[in-house]
Each structure stands twice: as C-alpha cells, then as structure tokens.
Amino acid sequence: MSAAPLIDPFARPITYLRVSVTDRCDFRCTYCMAEHMQFLPKAELLTLEELGRLSNAFVDLGVRKLRITGGEPLVRRNIMSFFRAMSDRLGQGLDELTLTTNGSQLARFADELADCGVRRINVSLDTLNADKFAAITRWGRLAQVMDGVAAAKAAGLRVKINTVALKGFNEDELFPLIDWCGEQGHDLTFIEVMPMGDMGEETRLDQYWALSDLRRRLESRFTLTPLAERTGGPARYVRLEETGQKIGFITPLTHNFCESCNRVRVTCTGELFMCLGQEDRADLRAPLRASPGDEALKDAIRAAISRKPKGHDFDYSRGVAGQMTRHMSHTGG
C-alpha cells in the first residue's frame, strides 16, 4: 500500500513537494516577518539527512517536482549537501529540483546549484529601487540581489522573478519591472499578499493590491493572451503580445486556484501542511525518527494526504489582518 501513488480525496495526484529547510532568513520583509522574529530553536529542525530521507519518501510515492524553500534556504549551513543528495533522484523518479530564494546568496551558490541539476529558480524581488528595497526587506541590499541574479543567469539558470503586489509600494513600478524582466530575459509572476502571521504594526488590508486591478492596468498598455501552460504551481500565465513576455498571476484571494492543487508543504521541523491556507497538519518527524525504515513514514504521509481539504479560505472581506497564525517563513514560501 505504501508504494501506491498519492491521491487526495478529490482525485488530485500529489506530485509537487515544497520543503522548507529553515525558518531563518537574512531579510525581514514587511509582508512576511515581524522585524524581531522569534525563530525556532535549531535543535527542533530536522537534520539535512532527515530532510533528504523525507524528500526521498515523497519521491517514492510519486512526487515529481521538489522545490526547496525557507526562510531563505541558502542560509542553512551545508545546504548544498542536501541539493547534491537530492540531485541523485533526478531522472530516478524526480523530474525537477528547484528553489525559491531572495537572491542574497546566489552569487556564492549559483554555479554549484547548476552542477546539482537545478535548471530554473524563483527569485523574490518586489522593487528595483534600492531605497525601497531596503525599506521592504529591512535588512537587504538590492545590489547584492542583483549580483546574485546576474550570477544565476551566467550559470545558465532560468530565473523567474516573483513580485508581491503591494498597494502604495510598488504600484508605480508595474511597467518598469516588466521592462527590466524583458530586457534580462526573466519571466515575471505577480503574487497577492497572503494573510499569514502577525506583522505587528503592518496590516494586510493596507498592503493588499488585488491582481485583478493590476491586470487591468496591464491591459491599458498590452494585449494579454491567456496561456494554457502550467509549471506545477498555482500561477496562471498570459503572454504580452507586444513583447512576447510571459507574465504569471498567483491569486489566492481574487481567484482561488485550489481545483488543480497538486502540492503539499513540509516544514523544517517535519510538519506536513496539506494546504497553505488551513491549519491542519501532520507530524512526520515522529515516524521519521521512530524507525530506520520508511514504511511508517510513508503510511503517515498517506494518512495525511487523505485529509487534504478541497481548498483554502483566505478572505480579506472579514476585515482581519491574517487568517493563519503561522508566518509564511515557518510553512515555507
């Protein structure tokens, strides 16, 4: 039974796993973390070897795409040993190994990532203005990220830029971001800010810029042709006919994307979240550590997938700042 593929209660195959390797980050983005975050004790984190064993169990059960997340995944010590271990599964059950990063460490690791079989990456970047970048990340430097993106491109990695749409912050950069990505050959995806965690003085309602409005602004300058293409994630894509660029939209608020959800998330402590927008979770650390074999672990995974809900219920109309108590950095970006 434990060798059968993962199918959730709504007949959706689970083929995409996002693994958080750390809750730590070298930035403190205002929509993601409080400025003075209380991170998990390092003793609670799974070892890199345990994360590899857990990831391999999912691949054995039919996961074809593995995305490494954080926090910022590249700040975890010896993280490349994990990438090297998982690269052995490419072509052996795993179709793609990739990551989402803030770009700060890419100049160090881009070549090694490419050597491990990583072919494309997502880089989170919300502004091209150095002062605004410092403000939104609190601790980040735009030049460092730009150097990292350039290193990734030089290493042959395909770069997709992920931009969180933030009202009053980057509305005026909609077209400059598109122009820059076009010049650099990067795809671009816009993301609605999600109600995850307590931000202190920051409120989600103040930050929320609906992508339906962003899309209308695009249509004032470009002809948008919907694309059937999917990359295994929640984005819906269009082509800008005037430039040929591909633009993605991730819209958990204005357009629920749950009907085709094929993904689950594992945290750096071994918690499996079947849905980003629900609190239900399963403890995989206990069965992982209970036995050197993987049968109990796979049974626990299968039992958790049997509880995967039909969808999330993010909703700003309730007038609250965040529906999920955990921060995005805990679940994995």
Residues forming the annotated binding site for GTP?
18, 67, 100, 160, 263-265
Residue corresponding to tokens 């975050």: 37
What six digits make up the tokens of 245? 């660029």
Length of the chain counted residue by residue: 333
What six digits make up the tokens of 313? 């219920």
47-52-55 Cα angle (round to 5): 125
Binding residue numbers? 18, 25, 29, 31-32, 67, 71, 100, 124, 160, 194, 258, 261, 263-265, 275
Contact between 126 and 170 under an 8 Å Cβ cutoff? The reply is yes
The rounded distance, in Å, linking the Cα atoms of 193 and 209 is: 8
In this structure, the number of other CB atoms found within 10 A of the CB of residue 175 comes to 13
The rounded distance, in Å, linking the Cα atoms of 150 and 239 is: 24
Edge-first strand listing for the sheet containing 158-165: 224-227, 236-240, 246-250, 187-192, 158-165, 120-124, 96-101, 65-69, 16-20, 263-266, 271-273, 281-283
Residue corresponding to tokens 């660029």: 245
Binding residue numbers for [4Fe-4S] cluster? 25, 29, 32, 258, 261, 275
Question: Which of 82, 91, 76, 79 lies closest to 26, judged by CA?
Answer: 76
What six digits make up the tokens of 29? 């983005």
Binding residue numbers for S-adenosyl-L-methionine? 31, 71, 124, 194
Beta bridge partners, 68, equal 19, 99
Contact between 157 and 106 under an 8 Å Cβ cutoff? The reply is no
